[in-house]
Amino acid sequence: MAVAPESAGSRLDALNQWVLEVARLTRPERIQWCDGSDSEFEALVERMEADGTLLPLNPDTHPRSWLHRSHPEDVARVEHLTFVCTSERDDAGPNNHWMAPADGHARMDGLFDGCMRGRTMYVIPYCMGPIDSPLSRCGVEITDSPYVVANMRIMTRMGAAALARIEREGSFVRGLHSVGELDPDRRFIMHFPEELTIKSFGSGYGGNALLGKKCHALRIASHQARTEGWLAEHMLILGLENPEGETHYIAAAFPSACGKTNLAMLIPPEGYRQDGWKVWTVGDDICWMRPGSDGRLYAINPEAGFFGVAPGTSMASNPNALASIQRDTIFTNVGLTADNQPWWEGLGVGEPAFDWRGNAYDCNAGPAAHPNSRFTVSARQCPSYSAEAENPAGVPISAIVFGGRRASLVPLVFEARDWAHGVLVGAAMGSETTAAATGAVGVMRRDPMAMKPFCGYNFADYFAHWLSFDSEGARLPKIFHVNWFRKGDDGKFLWPGFGDNLRVLEWMIKRVEGRAGAVDTPIGALPRVEDVNLDGVPLTAEARDKLFGFDRQAWLAELDGIGSYLDEYGPRMPAALRSEQQRIAVALARTTA
């Protein structure tokens, strides 16, 4: 079927015309419009089981679950092959690889030419966010990968309802994807923000192929958000309910594989659970925020599922995540046990018989699961899932948290003085790289708001957009920075993390409510040891010193580095951020005098 089913209205004319143009370019054997139905999904799975794309797992332990093995050279984001194509180079900024739109289209169309011969071209209408939410935005992905279709069905509101909304609104993000030959030398991901268009070729990996995720929900949406007056952020959303039954919502930005999913699904320590504390999961990765009529920021999770990192997920680290993926889950690049159960490092039970490439497991040949192996599962299967995830109005955000992997320097938590300081805290955020992207692991780099790989325009303009929310009548969230990964002189982590991170969240909410103490320092407000509930948490003297204090000389050097980083963006960098950096540097210098 070449055109949208039952399309009589002119609002689908543009969509139908685009689909026909893509078909003429890619020359598929057939075209299938996806309706998101159970029968469609079952037929796709049957087809993929037959050709080995999906391997069914043990039906007794993991019913309706599958393993997918991607090409060994197609296992993570490829930031060096990801481009933002704006009319003016400076609009993309030094934070993005740039290509002129005409050149980008020419390069990609050359790759797409005839690439779907003998294949099915799937047309996937989808909605990012609740179908009826004014905060949601729609898109259509065209792909030749049934694996992508199956994942998009889990990760988005995909199918007939999304197509109906597109017909009502007449606007959508266009995404064209083909796995091509999975040749790393013929692999590019191009974004055209001014056209609301994405083109991805040569990869079948998650964020490179599930175009609703990072490509749409962050790179394109960040551009939409700036134009329309909202924020598209790489953030989890959780609800923290206290014993009195009051719930505060927190949005938190961490680079990939730095514990976002663990925090989003946090289980309170035993004492807190007995007292009645609860954590509700609204989202684990992406957050869209818009000012409400009352001046507060309201957020939705544009995704409907989790595309989580498997290694390290266990009953000890994240019981809710583990419970979520016991059925109806697609695993990618994990190992296998002898009885066909998924396995990864850190799982804590069982042992692998096969590695992620499908070879007999050899401990000397590398890990059983790829470090960036994943699971795709509906958010509704999470025991801590919040029904507020479907609230069309979104949830009001009380606190915004930034954090990354810093083995030294950064204390456990501090609070920004005001909104401008908080924006600088986010803009200057640094973290050690992880396996979620290709390249070296463990290298410290600046990752503003955890958006370095995902911001669809110049970071200087992005920071200015953040600053613009501090307007008359705004009731903005407090901003905090955390560091769960501070290490001692012996190289071991000083903070227990996981469920005990709730102790830090409790302090934040009490600060929001004006009920917790802190010490004002040049870098922000730091809790004293007695301000955080540490009952049952034994901390050494070194841990107390490094987690709750700061090294003035080291921070002076950090502020110099932040200043140099801001200078990289030239005259477009907002003067307010330069002033904040200088204010803190002067305060630090005076403190050490």
Helix, strand, coil shares of the chain as percentages rounded to 5? Answer: 35, 20, 45
Dist CA 283 CA 260 (whole Å): 9
Q: Which residues of 352-361 are buried (b: 16+ CB within 10 A; e: fewer)?
A: bbbbbeeeeb
Cβ distance 68 to 147 under 8 Å? Answer: yes
Cβ distance 226 to 461 under 8 Å? Answer: yes
Which residues face 132 on adjacent strands? Answer: none
Cβ distance 226 to 86 under 8 Å? Answer: no
17 CB-near residues (< 8 Å, 6+ apart): none
Which residues face 153 on adjacent strands? Answer: none
Question: For residue 442, which amino acid is it?
Answer: G
Phi first, then psi, for residue 367 (nearest 5°) are -70, 155
Cβ distance 310 to 373 under 8 Å? Answer: yes
Cβ distance 196 to 218 under 8 Å? Answer: no
Phi first, then psi, for residue 325 (nearest 5°) are -105, 30
DSSP 215-274: IIIIIIHHHHHHHHT-EEESEEEEEEE-TTS-EEEEEEE--TTSSHHHHHT----HHHHH
Q: Is the dihedral of CA 204, 207, 213, 217 positive or negative?
A: negative
DSSP state, 485?
T
Phi first, then psi, for residue 84 (nearest 5°) are -115, 120
Q: Which residues carry out catalysis?
A: 258
Dist CA 298 CA 435 (whole Å): 32
DSSP 41-105: HHHHHHHHHHHTSSEE--TTTSTT-EEE---TT-SSB-GGGEEE--SSHHHH-TTSEE--HHHHH
Take residue 142 and report the two structure tokens written for it: 């065209």
- Going along 294-440, which residue ranges are E strands? 297-300, 305-309, 330-332, 335-336, 342-343, 374-378, 395-403, 413-415, 430-432
Instruction: Return the CA Rg of the chain.
Output: 24
Give me the count of residues in the chain: 593
| Three-state secondary structure call for residue 383 | coil
